[in-house]
Structure 1
């Protein structure tokens, strides 16, 4: 490329090949080169070269996580490939577009593109492309929990991969087949296929597939109570995952090892493994939440872009009709003025709705992060460690069981907007019990429920009381001399649910201004959540704090919501 400076199709082709090699290693530096290639192709009227350049530019955006610009580049390339009737190029672009829709969980649109890719691959007799298309369709079905269809497509892809004698394809598809069988509950079949995938991956030196398969073998054996086998496979997977720097798989390995150690009575090793799992899992979850928020933002931008395009098409049609009907110019102008006003008003309403939904997602995410903060996890794990150091194994085991149950329940409920009151109270009681153990029985509590409330049928936003219980313990009772008491009460007042958290701690006034700073974050999040509930359900929920001579009382009013 350095030797060939002439601005012709040869240089354009060399630029595309160079960018292809830079896609994963140095994508940001590749953009000027691919732009030069596209410019040369247009000047030389080399349509295929322009399409190839746009496809490679889309690949750069996709690697950088910019799905919106990637989709735009791919769609422009599709139009050019259709213009020159290049079916193989069009087919590969449909696959790329399908990947973006799958990432955005737009499964129907992803399947539409993957099926078009599959049909073209069969028409052209390209077995590798047919295998990829079948695998992609299967993954979409499995992601949408239609495991029967997903397994069927994977079996077809596996049969073709074996005919192709492509060991990498066989290993990857076998691993995906085992994953679908595991999710469908067919553990014995899944174990057989995971072992095949692990063995073949080891033969061809693919450590990514091998680590994934070994982790899953360990996980299934732990479920089947084969803890020695689970430990062996998880240990091998951990070693490989560290070697390739796969953080998520390291977390999975430590989780399986923690379960295996605990059931074999190795409590100190189980605690260490669980600490490692928590640390790595929190890192993975943080990245996943960031990706989810980014996905929602991109989805909103795409919908807005599509809406603008549709509006533009409609506007052009109306203008053309206006030229044809000259005698009705004044009437058409009036009608168009009204239509444009209404569309602008509707667009503003849609924008407000999208912004409000984003606020809902952001507030729920903040509310989840405000629970089970790292300080609590750190102190809990240190308490367990202290029990073990004092050889109080029973107390350590009881604490670990309660702590595991609490963290698991919080993860299970993290995406739910409402849960039964009974479940939320169990979580709050378990949280208070853990803090009471940590404070060495310095804390007592009562929970009072109005007889008119059916706790298993009454719904409440998850963890809405937890920040105030935490504040009562940490900032009210912990610094108090003597026994602390928390009274939690739930009662019904007409169509509202009144929740009260009352403590006899040192109170906000005696904390020299520190409590206000610590409480403000939890208060702000809870007020936001109540405001959103009021907006969605047209109710008058509220949050009030009452300072007492001894302690603080918090009163939360929520709309009464029944499950049935």
Structure 2
């Protein structure tokens, strides 16, 4: 008595805990749904509903209710006309219905998913939806329709290069061919799917396709080949520790060995299937293994032993409610009694088998009716939603029309005022820009005579202080440089390679002029296509000239001039570095010589840079001059960082 009382209290406690847990889950779902009201009604909200629907699927399945999150996703998706979201949610609901064997409903939802997927023109989504519909129809034995869906899915998946969907489609087509006894065609498709699964290291897919090829060879009567593929599939399942897969393989091997009348190996395989099935949660496989062993023993004439195994299958099926297995079990029991000459018991068993067959048919009919009603209700609800949305849109259109009438006149007048303001402003800006361009041309015109004057003075000194051969070489380079300058300064922008070439000519002349007291290096970054980058002409030369004549010529020892160029976005960064005497020492030398005027070239170039900054409205255009020092704080040269806007040909 005490033991029974404790047990009763324990059951009551469990029920209370389960009830409390159910209330907690229900409250959590309700709170989650309520929290959605704070989210804006957009496509992200549809995705959020779908994610929550997946997460709460077990909760709604346990209560045998429609998933509220999926329903909200459909309502909002239709309002937003969000085809991708609707395709995804219909796929989710359809797959959920298929998992409950509600194939008619599943097919209806998946066909809706196809319609919206095709609106997105996303081949991957289309192939997933088509494959889902194909599986639904295959489960309902509508094989031609299933084949059409999978074939369309294959073509879409190949366009999207979606290997997973390609494998599903090919494997499904193979299964349809297997069902229609087109075994050779099935082997071709399974082999193709097997190759893809091996290439993508999907061992489970490999195991499934190996087993399917085995079924096809067994259908062709090539039992030995079938056994070979079953064994290969078994090996992969054993490596994966996939108990369900191992059980299927052992059952297949048992059937194949039985076909060869190798009853010892058949029994060994079926016993192994039974052992593995003990580790599988779905006990229908165990019931099937008991039944297969019973049939094998009955075929060998071991009727008493056969009935024990068949009865174990019946007991297990009765406990778990496997009506199909009960029908098959009583059918096998009837055949065994008949084989042993016990016709009365054979008829009794056959009557029970037929009773279960009738109940399965009744349930199937009721399920079809229920699913048809459900489809009607879903379509009716969808139509209601569409009608409500249509009425809402009409109301919104009327409101918008009235608002448009109210503000159109005011808007037109405002547009006139704003347009007039911007026209006058644009005209003034163009005038200012034109003025700045004229000033820039004027400064370029000043730049050329200044440079030519300095160069001619250098030639004059060079001729008087050097021999004729060097003078001739100097004049040749000078004439080339003059030609480049006259050509380049006609344009606002020239290519970087032309600017670099003119710089090299200028530096070669200055090296000759200064008796090679310095050396120079010009480095252009590897990622710069110097034919495509355009910069203002003669913009770098004045800083190079300043580095030579105020820094390097007064240095004791070898002078070095480095010029480096790099591109940052649409600006060119040019760094001119010398190891000369520095600006402070250069100023002292100028004061001793009594030179107080400022370099004309530097003054003109600064004016050009200021105008370039104004024309381009760019803060990036700049010149930064740094005094370099050695470790002891002594002057070690000067560095000029020149940042310029560039134009790109492409």
What TM-score, normalized to structure 1?
Answer: 0.49
- Which protein is bigger by CA-based radius of gyration? 2
